[in-house]
Amino acid sequence: VLLLAYLVYVGLGASVLQALERPAEVRTARRLLQQRWELLANHSCLQGPTLQRLIQGVIEAYKSGVTTQGNSTSLGRWDFSGSFFFSISAITTIGYGNLSPSTVAGRIFCILFALFGIPLNLVLLNEIGQLMLLGVQRSAHHLEEKFHWKIKATLVMKTCALVTGLLLFLLLPPLLFSSKEGWTYEEGFYYSFITLSTIGFGDYVIGMNPDRTYPSWYKNVISLWILFGMAWLALIIKFCISLLE
Task: Identify the segments of the chain with pLDDT beneath 70.
Answer: 62-76, 148-151
Residue 26 lies in a domain: no
CATH of the domain at 135: 1.10.287.70
| Number of domains, the chain | 1
The answer for 206, left when phi > 0, alpha when psi is -120 to 50, beta otherwise, is beta
For the chain, how far is it from start to end, CA to CA, in angstroms? 13
Residue 34 lies in a domain: no
Residue 111 lies in a domain: yes
Q: What is the pTM of this model?
A: 0.77
Residue 45 lies in a domain: no
Domain span holding position 220: 78-244
Ranges assigned E (strand) in 39-193: 67-69, 72-74
pLDDT attached to residue 170: 95
Residue 192 lies in a domain: yes
Residue 68 lies in a domain: no
23: how many CB neighbours lie within 10 A of its CB?
A: 10
pLDDT attached to residue 179: 94
pLDDT attached to residue 64: 62
Residue 160 lies in a domain: yes
Residue 178 lies in a domain: yes
